[in-house]
């Protein structure tokens, strides 16, 4: 198929999906624009296998956010944004993928760029699954850096359930990747994508526990990612982390880590 036709079809598909997601309340208006752009590049330049991985991430994570929205309502204010994703969240999760799709068509090692994309998608999917499912754990989380018990929903806190959810989220991307991009090294590919996804999501937790900006609401006596106002309307003040390291930047770093680990293992093993 001619290049421009493929690109056009990719953008049409991405914009249609973004419209449906906006109507369903999964994306804000700015989020839908960002999804149309990143999705168009990934579909149009990468083709079917790339589209499958992006959709596996987008559909499974949107479904999880919705499925557990009610049960987690008491925790909702801990997270800086609701289940409706805006442009910052979309670029944090899919921005690296769009850049890799551009790199893919120019690269002399397309297989390596594909694995970087699969690793990045595995990491953001692992992170979303562990965030959505980990807070349902009956056992209180422990901070990834020092093992101290922390309140449920605290940035950087991990649970065994959350780690298993991360592995399952990464495995979904890994399985889709080896099914739709057949290779004689499929088993190695599957394992390094899962490992990249898991380490990317754990890196997200390390950043959450150390450099991510975390705020305090004096009215509710609670830690929150919300700034400048808490859900109750009270201005929040920063208690830890660096002011410029927000949740979107941490998620972007998570996707970079997933790509680096997967490609690094590929260079060592294959």
Residues that bind Zn ion (CB under 5 A): 217, 219-220, 230, 232, 234
Least separation in angstroms between CB 236 and Zn ion: 8
Least separation in angstroms between CB 72 and Zn ion: 17
Torsion sign, CA atoms 51, 56, 57, 59: positive
User: Residue 152 or residue 230: which is nearer to Zn ion going by CB?
Assistant: 230
Torsion sign, CA atoms 118, 135, 215, 73: positive
Beta bridge partners, 157, equal 143
Looking at 110-246, list the stretches that DSSP marks H as alpha helix, in order from N- to C-terminal side.
110-134, 160-180, 186-210
User: Residue 183 or residue 231: which is nearer to Zn ion going by CB?
Assistant: 231
Least separation in angstroms between CB 82 and Zn ion: 16
Instruction: Compute the half-sphere exposure of residue 34: CA atoms within 13 Å on the CB side of its CA.
Output: 19
Rg (CA), the chain: 18
Task: Classify 149 as helix, strand or coil.
Answer: strand
User: Residue 8 or residue 232: which is nearer to Zn ion going by CB?
Assistant: 232
Residue pair 119/261 in contact (Cβ under 8 Å)? The answer is: yes
Least separation in angstroms between CB 230 and Zn ion: 4
Identify which of 53, 68, 206, 72 has the alpha carbon closest to the alpha carbon of residue 125: 53
Compute the distance between CA of residue 183 and CA of residue 187 in angstroms, rounded to an integer: 9
Least separation in angstroms between CB 224 and Zn ion: 7
User: Residue 33 or residue 216: which is nearer to Zn ion going by CB?
Assistant: 216
User: Residue 25 or residue 218: which is nearer to Zn ion going by CB?
Assistant: 218
């Amino acid at each position: 198929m001619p290049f421009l036709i493929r690109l056009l079809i990719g953008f049409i598909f991405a914009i249609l999906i973004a419209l449906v997601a906006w109507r369903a309340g999964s994306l804000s208006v700015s989020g839908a624009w960002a999804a149309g752009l990143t999705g168009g590049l990934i579909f149009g330049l990468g083709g079917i296998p790339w589209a499958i991985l992006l959709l596996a991430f987008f559909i499974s994570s949107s479904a999880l956010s919705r499925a557990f929205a009610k049960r987690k309502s008491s925790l909702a204010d801990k997270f800086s944004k609701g289940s409706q994703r805006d442009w910052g969240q979309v670029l944090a999760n899919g921005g690296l993928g769009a850049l890799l799709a551009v790199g893919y068509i120019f690269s002399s090692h397309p297989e390596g760029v594909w694995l970087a994309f699969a690793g990045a998608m595995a990491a953001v999917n692992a992170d979303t699954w562990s965030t959505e499912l980990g807070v349902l754990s009956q056992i209180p989380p422990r901070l990834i850096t020092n093992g101290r018990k922390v309140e449920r929903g605290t940035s950087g806190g991990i649970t065994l359930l959350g780690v298993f959810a991360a592995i399952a989220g990464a495995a979904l991307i890994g399985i889709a990747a080896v099914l739709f991009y057949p290779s004689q090294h499929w088993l190695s590919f599957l394992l390094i994508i899962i490992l990249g996804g898991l380490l990317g999501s754990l890196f997200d937790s390390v950043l959450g526990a150390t450099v991510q900006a975390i705020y305090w609401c004096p009215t509710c006596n609670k830690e929150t990612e919300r700034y400048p106002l808490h859900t109750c309307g009270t201005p929040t003040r920063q208690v830890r982390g660096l002011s410029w390291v927000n949740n979107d930047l941490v998620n972007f770093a998570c996707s970079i880590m997933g790509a680096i680990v997967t490609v690094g293992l590929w260079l060592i093993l294959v």
